[in-house]
Amino acid sequence: MSIRIAITEKNWDTLEQTVKSALSIYNQALPAEPKVETVHGPCSISLLLDDADKWQFVTMAYMDISEAVAKIPESLDTRVETAKLIGANGILRHLTLQSKSADNSLL
């Protein structure tokens, strides 16, 4: 289970499980969902992406996290610090959330 494997296999379940696993190691508050400016005003990124776009954003998030992991000092627990980075990533967290609509909601 890893983000790299999820991207390589285009396996959304693996991505969700990896984020869930990271949160079990270091759970933190859900970051704000990134917004994209549209002709209708700002819109949540998860509403605008098709499957191909989602994987591109996941890949960019993976690259950002990989660069940050490479800079983790040896004195720190790399597994915990990596979990922090995954948990703090708004793209990964919001794209892997289950539906946020309320019960009986038409939206």
Q: Which domain holds residue 64?
A: 3-95
CB 53 within 8 A of CB 37: no
Q: Is residue 107 in some structural domain?
A: no
Number of domains in the chain: 1
Does any domain span residue 41?
A: yes
What tens digit of pLDDT does each residue of 42-89 get?
A: 998 888 888 888 999 999 999 999 999 999 999 999 999 999 999 999
Site of tokens 């940050």:
68
Residues in the chain, how many? 107
Asked if residue 15 is part of any domain, the answer here is: yes
pLDDT single digits (tens) 15-35: 999 999 999 999 999 999 999
Q: Please tell me the number of Cα atoms within 13 Å of 65 on its side-chain side.
A: 26
- Residue 101 maps to a domain: no
Does residue 43 lie in a domain region? yes
